[in-house]
């Protein structure tokens, strides 16, 4: 498990853990492993709770930590064992990154998303750019 050294939105130098190794586990096992390191799997996005990812092959994770009295928002991705993660100083910037990932999976038919999905992310309605209320 490496460390992330800069926030994606502000470029601040930080030292926070990346997602743990996915070695020797499938997606469902990986959710348990990530949870032990403070990462929570997130299955829905948008006010009405549309699919986010495609468990157990594509799983999105979030993590919120305090850093010197301020928050850091982590967003991690597990895609068939490949891992990536970023931290953001702003919750809005993190939500934007999650929304972009959700849109990509919805747009390409990899996750069940809204029926009225626009052609571009920039045209995506605000209710699809927020955490699920469920």
Rounded Cα distance between 35 and 104, Å, is 25
| Residue-wise pLDDT tens digits, 28-65 | 999 999 999 999 999 999 999 999 999 999 999 999 99
**Of all helices (H) and strands (E), which one includes residue 8?**
none
pTM, full prediction:
0.94
CA distances 52 to 49, 55, 85, 97, 117, Å, are: 8, 9, 16, 12, 14
Dihedral over Cα of 101, 97, 8, 20: its sign: negative
What's the pLDDT band for 86 if we cut at 50, 70, 90? very high
133 and 44 in contact (C-beta within 8 Å)? no
Q: Where are the domains of the chain?
A: 3-128
pLDDT tens readout for residues 96-126: 999 999 999 999 999 999 999 999 999 999 9
* 3-state DSSP assignment of residue 27: helix
């Amino acid at each position: 498990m490496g460390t992330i050294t800069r926030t994606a939105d502000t470029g601040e130098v930080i030292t926070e853990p990346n997602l743990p190794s996915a070695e020797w586990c499938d997606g469902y096992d990986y959710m348990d492993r990530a949870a032990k390191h403070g990462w929570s799997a997130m299955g829905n996005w948008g006010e009405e709770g549309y699919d986010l990812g495609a468990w157990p092959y594509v799983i999105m994770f979030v993590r919120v930590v305090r850093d010197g009295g301020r928050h850091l928002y982590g967003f991690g991705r597990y895609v068939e064992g490949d891992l990536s993660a970023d931290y953001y100083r702003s919750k809005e910037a993190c939500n934007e990154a999650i929304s972009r990932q959700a849109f990509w999976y919805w747009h390409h038919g990899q996750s069940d998303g809204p029926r009225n999905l626009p052609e571009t992310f920039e045209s995506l309605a605000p209710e699809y750019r927020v955490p699920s209320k469920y």
